Every structure is written in structure tokens, then in C-alpha cells.
Amino acid sequence: MVQRRFPRPSELAPLMKFKTPELDGKKRRLQSALTIHDLRAIAQRRTPKAPFDYTEGAAEGEISLGRARQAFEDIEFHPAILRDVSRVDTGWEVLGESVELPFGIAPTGFTRMMHTEGEIAGATAAAAAGIPFALSTMGTTSIEGVRDAAPTGRNWFQLYMWKDREKSMQLVERAAAAGFDTLLVTVDVPVAGARLRDKRNGFSIPPALTVGTIANAIPRPWWWWDFLTTEPLAFASLSSWDGTVAELLDFMFDPTVTYEDLAWIKEQWPGKLVVKGVQTVADAKRLADLGVDGITLSNHGGRQLDRAPIPFHLLPEVVREVGRDTEVHLDTGIMSGADIVASIALGARFTLIGRAYLYGLMAGGREGVDRAIQILGDQVARTMRLLGVSSLDELEPGHVTQLQRLVPRG
């Protein structure tokens, strides 16, 4: 039988230590976020439906995005034991310059719609973390604005080729003059994908006030306060627009762009050139033959062609074919540091995060982006330790098995 007694005061004292409450609401909610999924939940509570759905959504039935994320879950790690992992190095060289972590911030459009700090929060957080930041052609901060906010950061410029070629190349010239070291040419948007959430929400630039948007804004007054009391949206690429996002994309994007155009762009650009949106081994090989510095396997976060190839599944074969001569980067579906480590193990030199960064931004501005980077960085380091590796160079295909869920029929 259990013998019971009253505890002595000296025994209770160690149990009665209370943590000092955090009075800053932003710090409190960001400290509570332990994963990118936690940041997403905070972001959804704080952001109106239309901009949140623009971030969250994908094309058509959103199958491509779901498959990309599922592919990262369908892996098995193979750890080595009894290795000295007291110190781990999470950095190495990407495109000839060092990075502190094997990921950077992907180019995202209309970013100040998610949070008024927008690209400035992303660029400054990336610079502080020692990782690249990519500014989108459809960004809401100018090239010069990003340069001025993060003059010591590693800034990349993402280019969409427009129907107006002269204006496109003016942006390239501005990026070069501003010291951006890498041009990220996106090639998977001849026309806009069918992003049905945006159509259903009537998502437009600038936001349209309807009965629905007003009702949705009532529990999120801070977003509207920030939006209405700060500078109006200014695009990196155009002075103004009045219409839906899909209308803007179809108006601007050029469906006639070819490999010859890409070769011409390469001749104009003085820095490194990476092609984003590669979805077949054949295209990867052709780009490598063209002499680009890197390719990014990406299906645009599932926002273009639904049921597109899964970039993570393409990775091993593309690395075997072109990895000796051309850096292979990966985008789409990354939600944890374990996803990043698995990508590096299978041969990627670098990865890009888009939604994961935007969830942090919506959750808390610059501090939210810092938190997203910290979460991913900590997960990268912890996963490496648990695998028994102390540097990125030690990661290899033997550390990861891609489990099969979708197998082509013979």
C-alpha cells in the first residue's frame, strides 16, 4: 500500500518557481511557435482571407503542392551513431559565395499585402542570418529599396520576361547597378496558373473593400491599420495596377520566351544566372549545356501547372545528369529543416523557402521572419546531429530513402 504524507515546505519550493510572463504580445506569440506550421496558424488568425489565401493557395485542385509536401514526409532517414557532433557547420558556398544556412528566401509577389513590412523584413532578416534574399519582379518594394535596407545582404533579383522586353531589361540593369549578385530567371509562367482561391476571393490590387472583406477584417483590425497608415503598395516592376492578380499576370507575361531569349539574357547579365522552374531532366541538361550557373527544380509552389512533377523526386536524377557542372537548387513544399537536410543529402546545393517565410512575416513582421529562419536553422542543425554528420559535405544519398507512394504504371 502506498504511504502518503504531507509535503514539507522545503520540498515544495523547487516546484513553485514561476516563469516571468512575457508582456509583449508579439514576442509571446512568436516564442510559442515551435514549427513553421505553428507560424502558419498564427498567420491565418492575423491576416485577412484574401492575402492569406494568395499565400496559401495553389493552382486548380492544389494537387501539385500537396504532392510536393507529401514527398518530404515520405522519406526515411538513416542515421549513423557514435559520431562527434558536438559542433555542426550548417554553411558552405553557394554560387561562389558563402552562406550560413543551406536555404534562402524565395521571390514572392505582392509581399506587402501579407504584412506591411514586406520585402524589407525579408531582406534584413536574411542579411542578419547570412542567407540570400530574392526580390520578385512582382515584389512590392523597389530594387533600390531592398538595396538600401540590406546593403550588406546577399540580394538576388528574380526576373519574369514581359511582353515589353525593354522594360524587363531595364529591371535587369537596375538590379546590376544595385549590386544584386544573382539573376533568378523564372521560366514556368508563360501564362498565369488557375489560382481558384484568388478568383473566389476577388483578390485584386489594390484590395477591394466588399461586404465580405469588411466582415473578414473585423477581427483583424491591426492588418487594416497597418495597410491604411503606411505607404501605398509600390511595385518593383510597375507604377500601378487596378485589377485582379490573374489579369495582371496575363497582361505582363510573355508566352513566346525561348531558349534563345534566355541565352540573350545571360549575355546581358554580369553576375551569376540561375533558371527557376525546371521540371524535367531534359531541360536541366539543355540548360547545363547553355552554361547557366544553377538550375532550380521547382513547380512554382504548385501555383502553375497542377499535377506537375514533384521537384524533390526529380532531384536525384537531375543531380546525376548535371550536378558535376551546374549547381542544382530545390524549391516547392519545404516546411521544415528536415526537408532541407534531405534535399542536401540527395544532391541539392541550396533550397528556397517561400510560404514558410511568408507565414513568419504574416505572424509578426521582421521578428516573424527571424523566427521562421531560426526554426528552420535549428531543425537543420538538429537533424544533422541526429544523422551523425557535422557538416553539409558529409550528407550523402545514403542518409535518405525516398519511399514510394506514386509509382508510374508500366
Query: Catalytic site residues?
Result: 300
d(CA 209, CA 199): 15
Extract the C-alpha cell encoding 319. Answer: 543531380
Contact, 295 vs 274, CB < 8 A? yes
The per-residue b/e assignment along 318-332, b for 16 or more CB within 10 angstroms, e otherwise, is bbebbbeebbbbbbb
Rounded to 10 degrees, what is the CA torsion of 383, 26, 41, 310? -50
- Cis peptide upstream of residue 206 (ω within 30 degrees of 0): yes
| 344 to 25, 105, 229, 348, 407: CA distances (angstroms) | 36, 16, 43, 5, 23
Residue 324 dihedral angles phi and psi, to the nearest 5° = -70, -30
Contact, 337 vs 326, CB < 8 A? no
Question: What DSSP designation does 281 have?
Answer: H
d(CA 55, CA 279): 22
Angle of helix 311-322 relative to helix 337-345, nearest 10 degrees, comes to 30
Contact, 184 vs 159, CB < 8 A? yes
H/E segment holding residue 19? none
Question: What DSSP designation does 379 have?
Answer: H
Cβ-based neighbours of 123, under 8 Å, separated by 6 or more: 105, 133, 135, 141, 146, 149, 150, 153, 155
Contact, 204 vs 271, CB < 8 A? no
Contact, 113 vs 140, CB < 8 A? yes
